Amino acid sequence: MKCSVIKIPAGAPHDMSGLKASAEEGLFRPEEVVAVLGKTEGNGCVNDFTRGYAVMALKDFFAGAVKGGAADISYVMSGGTEGVLSPHFTVISRSGQAGLASERERDQDQSQDQEQGLITGGPKSLAIGVARTRDFLPEELGRLSQVDAVAEAVARAVRDAGITSLQDVHFVQIKCPLLTAEQIYDAHSRQVSLVTEDTYKSMGYSRGASALGAAAALGEVERSALREEEIGVNWDKFSRVASTSAGSELACCEVIVFGNSQSAEGQYHIDHAVMQDAIDGAALQGLLDRYPGEELVQVLAKAEADPDGVIRGRRHIMLDDSDINHTRHARAVVGGVLAYVGGDPMIYVSGGGEHQGPKGGGPVAAVFRRR
Amino acid sequence: MKCSVIKIPAGAPHDMSGLKASAEEGLFRPEEVVAVLGKTEGNGCVNDFTRGYAVMALKDFFAGAVKGGAADISYVMSGGTEGVLSPHFTVISRSGQAGLASERERDQDQSQDQEQGLITGGPKSLAIGVARTRDFLPEELGRLSQVDAVAEAVARAVRDAGITSLQDVHFVQIKCPLLTAEQIYDAHSRQVSLVTEDTYKSMGYSRGASALGAAAALGEVERSALREEEIGVNWDKFSRVASTSAGSELACCEVIVFGNSQSAEGQYHIDHAVMQDAIDGAALQGLLDRYPGEELVQVLAKAEADPDGVIRGRRHIMLDDSDINHTRHARAVVGGVLAYVGGDPMIYVSGGGEHQGPKGGGPVAAVFRRR
Amino acid sequence: MKCSVIKIPAGAPHDMSGLKASAEEGLFRPEEVVAVLGKTEGNGCVNDFTRGYAVMALKDFFAGAVKGGAADISYVMSGGTEGVLSPHFTVISRSGQAGLASERERDQDQSQDQEQGLITGGPKSLAIGVARTRDFLPEELGRLSQVDAVAEAVARAVRDAGITSLQDVHFVQIKCPLLTAEQIYDAHSRQVSLVTEDTYKSMGYSRGASALGAAAALGEVERSALREEEIGVNWDKFSRVASTSAGSELACCEVIVFGNSQSAEGQYHIDHAVMQDAIDGAALQGLLDRYPGEELVQVLAKAEADPDGVIRGRRHIMLDDSDINHTRHARAVVGGVLAYVGGDPMIYVSGGGEHQGPKGGGPVAAVFRRR
Amino acid sequence: MKCSVIKIPAGAPHDMSGLKASAEEGLFRPEEVVAVLGKTEGNGCVNDFTRGYAVMALKDFFAGAVKGGAADISYVMSGGTEGVLSPHFTVISRSGQAGLASERERDQDQSQDQEQGLITGGPKSLAIGVARTRDFLPEELGRLSQVDAVAEAVARAVRDAGITSLQDVHFVQIKCPLLTAEQIYDAHSRQVSLVTEDTYKSMGYSRGASALGAAAALGEVERSALREEEIGVNWDKFSRVASTSAGSELACCEVIVFGNSQSAEGQYHIDHAVMQDAIDGAALQGLLDRYPGEELVQVLAKAEADPDGVIRGRRHIMLDDSDINHTRHARAVVGGVLAYVGGDPMIYVSGGGEHQGPKGGGPVAAVFRRR
């Protein structure tokens, strides 16, 4: 397997001109694309239709670019490019057997790759795996049934990536659903209870349950000790690598696992750190210092307003602001800090870090290319 | 003269409990206060009443705390604590002759101080000067008559601070008026033309004209070569130390000059740099590196969305966002970057950097205390 | 007792010029004022400081205007003047014994007034009563202890108004507290559970519990059958006259009862109807038709986005909008509809109609003056 | 010619399920559709991508539904469904010769139709005409060259509708472009001057110039007396039937003329009135009273915040609100008022009424169906 990550500016949610040009220049091959992560310029909240708009345009683009269609691409659009964050698409490609073989064959291939990897003894390279849960009912969101389905899908994606040690998993991106007013209305009519009746709040529950699913799969949280009431409440339980993002454009969860593997080859690799709060630029600085001389290809991070209303002992107003949602504030801050440290504002920073990193902080991963 | 700067958290715009406690602990003496800079938690735009609310509460507080009233304090409230920025008051005190003497006497005192200063040869210390323009008519805002009145007031404030070299001026804070819908309506009835009919846009013109006034006074821009049409248009003309902030709670401009002077004494001093763009944290880092071992007391900075819509070659969406004004985006970013570099989110970052620093960037000043 | 209602435009939250002029013209006597209802131009949500700003200015004004101070005025500021709603103050005055006598004396007076009223047989006139609950702990908000304290205060205010039949109560305005991020943080440290951890959502719970308190006091809801879980959930239980408004500027509930009483005199009287949804202008039209030739002095109404997301069978987007809170949408709509019907946009429309009128609708009261 | 108007609810900007069902039920024939007017649930301002998203979905839908494609449909999406306004599509169909014939043939047909019309003497019926201008350069927007191009297109659309008297034109819907930050940047690099550098403000200029183009074509404004400086300034010049709407999804203007014609047949007809201000529900009431017993099919109206900041002598805050754009406030109000009068919130109310109706007011048209 050989994986690559490139990022492409977007002039609007549906702007495919950059993708088209990059494909024509041979920077990526459409038929090798397994996932596209996008930052689109909506509000990143309930009524952000830029995510769906981008997905519609991307599907059209790849349908045209790949002979016979491109059915299996995961589209993970994260809305909200507050501050200096620059709208763009991150195109993730994978070539080699893993992406093409059936799961059984792939498992065999992977163990062969692995053996070969051990033999060659080269450095581990970037390995990508994808998986998808079944569609959820509204009443499952933010509850243990979502946690379990996500955990199972994350485990599947890790295998799909050919990653053999959980220490080699550095970023788990999950796109998850939310509750709309219509779904809430429907649930009422079916007399089922929902985790919340607030559309905006449902995003947090769905993100939180997804993150705990990843944490369970990766052994960061003990599933058997996890109770439903802890979702969205007990911030001491979290994943150090999960990044989850809610949107109304899907009913299942889409999982993309980023890690390193001996069975993968190529110049790309990934590493991660954990930001302790929204201004912990030192976390990314530490990663950069670890790989001097390498090219920083992309930064992937979560942003969160500290739920206690305090950062470094100072009161922040993000949670009390009824004009701008706190996720928007937090993305602007983390985007600015990481853009300064990394020197580029075209990075992937998504909001709402429930159970993703410690309270008020979040995971930050960096994809590098060896020169 | 001896000047000091302390900062005090505010739980709300009208929260005087911190000020009261600090005064009681002897951290400042109310009768020595010449200015209060506040960051209040409104939107920082036209309909931000947190600025006026804070001023009303501050006037009440100082009227009660100072025998015989406290008429001469400059209140400069800057709205907008997006992201991690923490609402607070910066209390600026001055003791000694300069603040008490008549202007003529002060001028004499200053030249004596200066001579003595040259004799003693000690380090320059923080010196503060204040001044105020006359009230403006709506039709003067954003035009050369505002520029000239501000230039005259800045020159007066520099003298008031006992600063003898313009190189020693490191921050010029100006609070200026804006146009409200009512004033625009009135102007219509008087058949006079205004620089803009848009209340929000009037803030930018007023900030820009004020900054050019400071630039003219400090020799950064040649007044005789400045044409009215350049205000809000020609970003090549700017001040490296002006920070201007518009609000509906005043009709004149209030000027506070921060600099260093041989005739001042005490542990405080100030320095400045210029941010080249909104993520230029290196500017503040450079200042910190210049004074190792000293305490960073306060950071004063301007935030601006690059008017070309591009930062480090990447498109930003701040100017196209009709939900959140670009000044709010920019403050969140600059606040986050400087909070990371300085380690404290309770800093003074104000928005709207027209003619304050280069296009998309802005001045950043740091007040230090020698240990 | 003789009560009057006048409304006075405000150029800003702290603008007392209209009040000053009206008092000087003799339109009201400051020492007779028992309550001021204000519509201020903030967002009407958590971080709306225009309410507190107005109260600070009003207290200053009345302290100066009334010899010996004006301690007992209820200030009920409702934020949010979306659309055509025009910021203003409604000044409610009361002269005669009720406002001055101790409760025991007043009770005696009232029964005498009543007897006299029955004897004179004149028309009932506007009668106002006020009361206040104790301060609440954060954990009481949105729960039965708030309901009970409010119910007791409403009963007290009805007696204070000299109203003897509950049919004569036409509007019960209640100002209630909300939860701020700081209070939530404090509650965490004290290990107590809150009804919600969301500041914005706390407004709804507090409004709902207050309305159910009024409903209990007025016999609209049977207190013994009311369970805590129904607050904010079971919309079938509601008051037809309660109007509640949450703000961060108080910790207790302030109650103002509007009704008609035989023991009151004067030209003013009040009546009410119930809007079935946000565009039920016919409710106010019906009231106007009932009193042809009388002057419509003021309209008092509640606005609410239908919680099912549907109005007249059509989907509305108010609940899914993450840029503008649904209370702001709803006020704009109801304000527009009632301004059309009544012919004046300077009316009191407040948002968040939980348990105030039927789901999606709300009470509307009209104060008339006989010519 | 036979024209019809039906409206179809949309669950989201890209929701085609209603259109699909209606087409299958035979409520409209896709191949006869000449225009679709949509209300989509974005902010209706610069960064509203719901308009483009809906157009992308509509093009896909009609491409699939019409054999050989459906190239000539005008898609006019108006963003902003504040308050009770309900997202939907208005599908406008036309059958018969006019839509098919070449312009020359159509002119002949029309004069024949006319003669026949005069002979048959039946009632006039709804007639629709469409036209499109060339693409504009950024520097043309808001200037006389836009006015002239629109005037020419409106005249063409009137002929296309077979309308022979300008008195029979009752609504002229125009979709026009705006300036984005990128276009402004480009213009800078080409050294051309633009009518404004503010993206949001450019919407108003483009709407205003388009409306004056319609006014010129319809003889409401004398073109030879119109000066460029009057655009966006002199509100005394306006059209009583133009409704213009700006968006970033097109570079030309699309014109749809609605009127009545003797040469058209069918049950539909249209009439209009002019709202004098945002709460002039009486304008629509007057139209309803004129056609008792007929079905009100659709209401088409413009909403505007009075530019003087005053309505019915009362101050409104719409122009001073930096959190919510005034067009959003105004749509919420007019939508509420007209929904009350007409009894249905699923109507077409678009914002920004520059030169469309008198200052603060706007045109309102109603499509009826005879029973």
Express each pLDDT in C322-345 by its tens digit: 999 999 999 999 999 999 999 999
Q: Comparing A289 with A105, which gets the higher pLDDT?
A: A289
What is the reported pLDDT for D14?
Answer: 97
pLDDT score at A103: 47
Could you tell me the pLDDT band of residue B108, with boundaries at 50, 70 and 90? low
Whether residue B298 is predicted with pLDDT greater than 80 in this model: the reply is: yes
Q: What is the pLDDT of residue D286?
A: 98
Query: pLDDT band at D121, cuts 50/70/90?
Result: low
Average pLDDT for D145-151: 98
The CA distances from residue A330 to A77, C207, D239, in Å, are 18, 29, 46
pLDDT value for A186 = 87
pLDDT of A105 reads 46
Amino acid D99: pLDDT = 40
Same domain, B257 and B278: no
Given C34, C63, C95, the domain boundary residue is: C95
Instruction: Give the amino acid at B165.
Output: S
- Could you tell me the pTM of the whole model? 0.92
What is the model's pLDDT at position C182?
Answer: 83
Check D175, D237, D302, D359 and give the catalytic one: D175
Asked whether residue C353 is assigned to any structural domain, the reply reads yes
Does residue B117 surpass a pLDDT of 60? Answer: no
Which residue from A315, A332, A334 is facing B329, i.e. has the nearest CB?
A: A332
pLDDT at A318: 97
In this prediction, residue D138 carries a pLDDT of 95
Q: Is residue A33 part of a domain?
A: yes
User: How far is A42 from A10, CA to CA, in rounded Å?
Assistant: 13
Of residues D49, D248, D323, nearest to A49 (C-beta):
D49
Evaluate whether residue C288 is within a structural domain. yes
What pLDDT was estimated at residue C36? 97
Does the pLDDT value for residue D107 go beyond 70? no
Give me the CATH number covering residue D41.
3.30.1330.170
Tell me the C-alpha distance between B106 and B99, whole Å: 8
Per the rule left: phi > 0, alpha: psi between -120 and 50, beta: everything else, A21 is alpha
Q: How many CB contacts within 8 angstroms connect chain B with chain C?
A: 42
Do residues A144 and A220 share a domain? yes
CATH code of residue C167: 3.30.1330.180
Q: Is the pLDDT of residue C33 over 80?
A: yes
D119 confidence band (pLDDT: 50, 70, 90): very low
The two structure tokens encoding residue A330: 């937090």
pLDDT tens figures, A100-156: 334 444 455 455 544 444 444 679 999 999 999 999 999 999 999 999 999 999 999
Per-residue pLDDT reduced to its tens digit, C221-275:
999 999 999 999 999 999 999 999 898 878 999 999 999 999 999 999 999 999 9
Overall average pLDDT of the B189-194 stretch: 92
Q: Is the same domain home to B143 and B230?
A: yes
Same domain, B261 and B329: no
**Region B137-155: what's the mean pLDDT?**
97
pLDDT tens figures, C201-219: 899 999 999 999 999 999 9
A56:D57 CB<8 A: yes
- Pick the range with the lowest mean pLDDT from A17-26, A33-42, B115-124, C304-313: B115-124
In a domain, A370, yes or no: yes
**Predicted pLDDT at A71:** 65
Q: Does D184 touch chain B (CB under 8 A)?
A: yes
Domain boundary among C95, C129, C149: C95
Mutate to test the interface with B, among D48, D319, D325 (most CBs of B within 10 A): D319
Q: Give the pLDDT score at C103.
A: 47
Structure confidence at residue D328 (pLDDT) = 97
- Of the candidates A11, A41, A56, the beta carbon closest to that of D56 is on A56
**How many Cβ pairs closer than 8 A exist between chain A and B?**
132
- The answer on D302 and D245 residing in a single domain is no
Do D229 and D303 lie in a common domain?
no
pLDDT band at B106 (very low <50, low <70, confident <90, very high): very low
**Model confidence at D117, in pLDDT bands (50, 70, 90)?**
very low
- Per-residue confidence (pLDDT) for residue C111, from 0 to 100: 52
- Residue B278 and residue B134 share a domain: no
pLDDT attached to residue A111? 52
Average of per-residue pLDDT values in chain D: 92
Query: Which residues of chain C have a CB within 8 Å of the CB of B47?
Result: 41
pLDDT digits (tens, 9 = 90+) for A341-355: 999 999 999 998 999
Residue A231 clears pLDDT 50, i.e. is over it: yes
Condensed to tens digits (0 to 9), the pLDDT of residues D4-28 reads 999 999 999 999 999 999 999 999 9
Contacting partners of chain C (3+ CB pairs under 8 A)? A, B, D
Mean per-residue pLDDT, A359-364: 97
Residue of B nearest to D233 (CA): B197
- For residue D114, pLDDT beyond 90: no
Question: What does the pLDDT read at residue D112?
Answer: 52
For residues C301-309, average pLDDT:
94
Task: Write down the pLDDT at residue B69.
Answer: 73
Residue C171 confidence class, pLDDT cut points 50, 70, 90:
very high
Residues B143, B126 within the same domain:
yes
Question: In angstroms, what is the C-alpha Rg of chain A?
Answer: 19
Q: Are A314 and B281 an interchain contact pair (Cβ–Cβ within 8 Å)? A: no
Higher pLDDT among residues C287 and C109, named by residue: C287
Check whether residue D160 and residue D85 sit in a common domain. no
Report whether pLDDT(A175) > 60: yes
Chain A residues closer than 8 Å to C198 by CB: 198, 201
Is C102 a domain residue?
no
pLDDT for A204: 93
Name the burial class of residue B286, with classes exposed (0-12), middle (13-18) and buried (19+) by CB atoms within 10 angstroms of its CB: middle
Residues in C closer than 8 angstroms to D346, CB to CB, are 314
Are A246 and A130 members of one domain?
yes
C179 shares its domain with C240: yes
Tokens of A181: 């007013």
Of D43, D199, D319, the CB nearest to B323: D43
Q: How much is the average pLDDT of C348-352?
A: 94
- Residue-wise pLDDT tens digits, A38-68: 999 999 998 999 999 999 999 999 999 998 7
What CATH number did the domain enclosing A300 receive?
A: 3.30.1330.160
Position D106 scores a pLDDT of: 45
Same domain flag for B123 and B260? yes
Full 3-state SS string of chain C = CEEEEEEEECCCCCCCHHHHHHHHCCCCCHHHEEEEEEEECCCCCCCCCHHHHHHHHHHHHHHHHCCCCCCCCEEEEEECCCCCCCCEEEEEEEECCCCCCCHHHHHHHHHHHHHHHHHHCCCCEEEEEEEECCCCCHHHCCCHHHHHHHHHHHHHHHHHCCCCCHHHEEEEEEEECCCCHHHHHHHHHCCCCCCCCCHHHHHHHHHHHHHHHHHHHCCCCCHHHCCHHHCCCCCCCCECCEEEEECCCCCCCEEEEEEEECCCECCEEEEEEEECCCCCHHHHHHHHHHCCCCEEEEEEEEECCCCCCEECCEECCHHHCCCCCHHHHHHHHHHHHHHHHHCCCCCEEEECCCCECCCCCEEEEEEEECC
Mean pLDDT of B5-11: 97
Task: Provide, rounded to the nearest whole percent, the portion of chain A with pLDDT above 90.
Answer: 83
Q: What's the average model confidence in pLDDT over C19-38?
A: 96
- What is the per-residue pLDDT for C98? 53
pLDDT band, very low/low/confident/very high, at B71 (cuts 50, 70, 90): low
Q: Is residue A217 part of a domain?
A: yes
For residue D249, what pLDDT is reported? 76
Contacts 24+ apart (CB under 8 A), B57-65: B57/B13, B57/B14, B57/B15, B57/B16, B57/C56, B58/B16, B58/B19, B58/B89, B60/B16, B61/B16, B61/B19, B61/B20, B62/B30, B62/B33, B65/B20, B65/B23, B65/B30
First to last CA, chain C: 19
Confidence bin at B204 (pLDDT 50/70/90): very high
| Catalytic residue ranges of A | 175, 245
Structural domain containing residue A75:
2-95
- Number of domains chain D is built from: 3
Of C41-50, C112-121, D222-231, D302-311, the poorest mean pLDDT is in C112-121
Bigger pLDDT: C180 vs A270: A270
User: What pLDDT, on the 0 to 100 scale, is given for residue A97?
Assistant: 61
Interior CA angle at C241 toward C239 and C246, to 5°?
80
Residue range B20-48: mean pLDDT, rounded: 96
For residue B255, is it within any domain?
Answer: yes
**For residue C117, what pLDDT is reported?**
43
Residue that terminates a domain, selected from B206, B236, B266: B266
Q: C101 in a domain, yes or no?
A: no
Residues 97-136 of D with CB under 8 A from A: none
Is the pLDDT at D168 greater than 50? The verdict is yes
